[in-house]
Structure 1
């Protein structure tokens, strides 16, 4: 003989699978966040690698006056387009068309000043509103290198070593490896846990406040079943939806991030399939907590509409700790694993860095959501014992 709460669970779960609204929400939350994450990262990779794949288009006014400079641009994979003289308005229109990265205007007296060893003026025009910052800096680097080459040649002609122009030599060392930069992706993907509170919303509210308004709750209460068995079955039915959604979400995001060439932007996805399985297991109580919170809120509401409105507002609360920690740029601490939702985000972020965090963070993440979930179910069971609630008076 099946336990009574399992009978309630099977009944509620079958009804949920027949509810098109719940299935649409499940599919929407499961696909939306991983696809958005993959799309944004793919665009970032395309922007980072576009100069290498396509080179850069640079419009030059008066290119004939500086043939050596034009040759140096070509060596750096910068395509030079020689254009006629243009006024400021025409230059602005050319930049807005995005056909070129920048416009280089060489002064009419460039050759004369160059020969007389006076500063030869060039103007670099660009549009800062367009996302061409890295490519404009590449053009500036070519100009600076060209200027330094000329200065070094002139110093040698006068018997002065070019080393005198660089009294301080700076060597740069980047200690941030791909593991550290992977934590940024871990922080982004941490928002994948948020749908745990959205996927079970419809099922949790409809099976409690909805059934009370339809007067079907009275029929269930008339059966030989205890309140905790009744609430427990409804809780599991709603929670399973979130478990399915979060598991599929993380699996889909894992597949997308493993497929993307993240090395092109100096990072990598270091989460293995075994790590993902442990994270899904540790995150299971978060889905049950979401269902328990919605059911407890719905049980305390006076109507179905009030329950739905309250639950919609309450589902935003778990995001607050993660946003606050991100804004304050706090370092990872042990107390973060004791805060529901934040613990899941922190766990995924640390695993994404490739660090060996041990078993304790997994256990803290698991129980930080399980304990309040059981408390929410206990409150809902106690609330269901009230005749005033069942009769909606």
Structure 2
């Protein structure tokens, strides 16, 4: 019997309908899929939007001790982003523990040393363990650095010295990145990892139930007694598991796309450039990977000793691809060669990153890479069919 006849046979259609019904009637699997695809992206986007709002809108409380000795410094700090309180005395550590983000202390000798053209010291106290400590010291240094440069130029000019003598050159930084390229650097890392995680998580529960679960319920014996080949059984199970895994990743993609409207991406110079065509292409590119994830999880669950053992093994499997992608993204590994796009998981990650930033991908490489992934799916199906013919499968539990 040919492969086409196997697929379109009445027995296979009945088996496929049975597998799809069991997968989509499993409330536990559906709750896991909905919980991850809806809550996890929403939490990520919501926390990002909230943290950006807090950083951009919250004023820093600065205590200035001894502002009478240097009123010019205290005046320089006034402006947006700062709430200045002038204090005559105080202990910096106690002030930081109270309500202040930073404490600027000016000594009594500042005025006399300043007029004698010395370099009086001022002390900036911060709490490095607080969230606002690093941001506070950066903003204060920028404000006071501008004033320091202005005073230095005035002193040199008063003595007939050109300020340019102390600055033999001027370094001007010009950022040539575009909002699209910055989106590739930020969204291109986060979104593909999240979508691949959705594939793994949403496929995990139905993969275990349709393999190790059926073996423990002894229903797989009845299935093996039917006039069905091992390939038909594995293909039906893979298609059913893929349907829920792929649907979960598409739902995550939709939630992310809608959630990006809540983030002030334009304010940080990032542009979300993916349109309808790019989103459809991302959905299609995820399908071969969804098939590969489903068949690998089913094979791993079949070789496990029990239902609980399958859960442990698949939980480990879920973390490996994510860890691999993060290592590749954070390391100095160059993925410029087109050969990398032929490797499953890495190829999909590169395509999704480019499409998320609105960039074009090579259609020929995408097709060849998808065919490589589908070839691995076919090989795994043959391995699974042989596994079903072994008597040791029924005695694994």
TM-score, normalised to structure 1's length? Answer: 0.89
Q: Is the Cα contact below 8 Å between 2:62 and 2:100 reproduced in 1?
A: yes
1:160 — aligned with what?
Answer: 161
Name the CA shift for 1:114/1:319 in 2 (closer, same or farther; >3 Å). Answer: closer
Q: Which moved more, 1:234-243 or 1:130-139?
A: 130-139
1:385 — aligned with what?
Answer: 389
Q: Is the Cα contact below 8 Å between 2:203 and 2:294 reproduced in 1?
A: yes
> Within the alignment, does 1:95 sit opposite 2:99 as a pair?
no
Equivalent position to 2:234, from 213, 231, 234: 231
- 1:63: how far off? 1.0
Write the distance in 1 (CA, Å) between the matches of 2:81 and 2:243: 55
Name the CA shift for 1:145/1:204 in 2 (closer, same or farther; >3 Å). Answer: closer
1:145 — aligned with what?
Answer: 146
Q: Is the Cα contact below 8 Å between 2:61 and 2:84 reproduced in 1?
A: yes
Deviation string, structure 1 residues 308-355 (Cα, Å, up to 9, x no partner): 333333333333531331242223332332222222222122223433
Write the distance in 1 (CA, Å) between the matches of 2:178 and 2:40: 27
Name the CA shift for 1:153/1:238 in 2 (closer, same or farther; >3 Å). Answer: same
SS at the partner of 1:200? Answer: helix
| Runs (5+) with no aligned partner, structure 2 | 1-7
> Within the alignment, does 1:130 sit opposite 2:130 as a pair?
yes
Q: Which moved more, 1:287-296 or 1:131-140?
A: 131-140
Equivalent position to 1:328, from 322, 328, 331: 331
2:11 — aligned with what?
Answer: 4
RMSD: 2.4
Deviation string, structure 1 residues 152-193 (Cα, Å, up to 9, x no partner): 323333333333333322211122332222122211122211
> Within the alignment, does 1:318 sit opposite 2:302 as a pair?
no
SS at the partner of 1:315? Answer: helix
> Within the alignment, does 1:57 sit opposite 2:61 as a pair?
yes
Q: Is the Cα contact below 8 Å between 2:278 and 2:358 reproduced in 1?
A: no
> Within the alignment, does 1:242 sit opposite 2:245 as a pair?
yes
Q: Is the Cα contact below 8 Å between 1:61 and 1:84 reproduced in 2?
A: yes
> Within the alignment, does 1:345 sit opposite 2:315 as a pair?
no
Deviation string, structure 1 residues 26-49 (Cα, Å, up to 9, x no partner): 112212431233134324422552
Write the distance in 2 (CA, Å) between the matches of 1:378 and 1:342: 24
Equivalent position to 1:370, from 366, 369, 374: 374
Correspondence 1:212-361 to 2 at 5 A? 212-333=215-336, 334-361=338-365
Q: Is the Cα contact below 8 Å between 1:235 and 1:295 reproduced in 2?
A: yes
Name the CA shift for 1:336/1:31 in 2 (closer, same or farther; >3 Å). Answer: farther
Name the CA shift for 1:118/1:324 in 2 (closer, same or farther; >3 Å). Answer: closer
Q: Is the Cα contact below 8 Å between 1:103 and 1:125 reproduced in 2?
A: yes
1:67 — aligned with what?
Answer: 71
Name the CA shift for 1:197/1:157 in 2 (closer, same or farther; >3 Å). Answer: closer
Q: Is the Cα contact below 8 Å between 1:279 and 1:362 reproduced in 2?
A: no
Count of residue pairs brought into register by the alignment:
386
> Within the alignment, does 1:201 sit opposite 2:165 as a pair?
no
- 1:75: how far off? 4.7
Equivalent position to 1:46, from 53, 59, 66: 53
Equivalent position to 2:42, from 11, 32, 35: 35
Write the distance in 1 (CA, Å) between the matches of 2:278 and 2:150: 52
| Runs (5+) with no aligned partner, structure 1 | none
Q: Is the Cα contact below 8 Å between 1:180 and 1:353 reproduced in 2?
A: yes
- 1:76: how far off? 6.0
2:188 — aligned with what?
Answer: 186
1:169 — aligned with what?
Answer: 170
- 1:55: how far off? 4.1
**Runs of 4 or more consecutive aligned structure 1 residues displaced over 4 Å after TM superposition:** 390-393
Write the distance in 2 (CA, Å) between the matches of 1:72 and 1:278: 53
Name the CA shift for 1:168/1:384 in 2 (closer, same or farther; >3 Å). Answer: same
SS at the partner of 1:124? Answer: strand
Write the distance in 2 (CA, Å) between the matches of 1:290 and 1:158: 75
Q: Is the Cα contact below 8 Å between 1:283 and 1:366 reproduced in 2?
A: no
Q: Is the Cα contact below 8 Å between 2:102 and 2:125 reproduced in 1?
A: yes
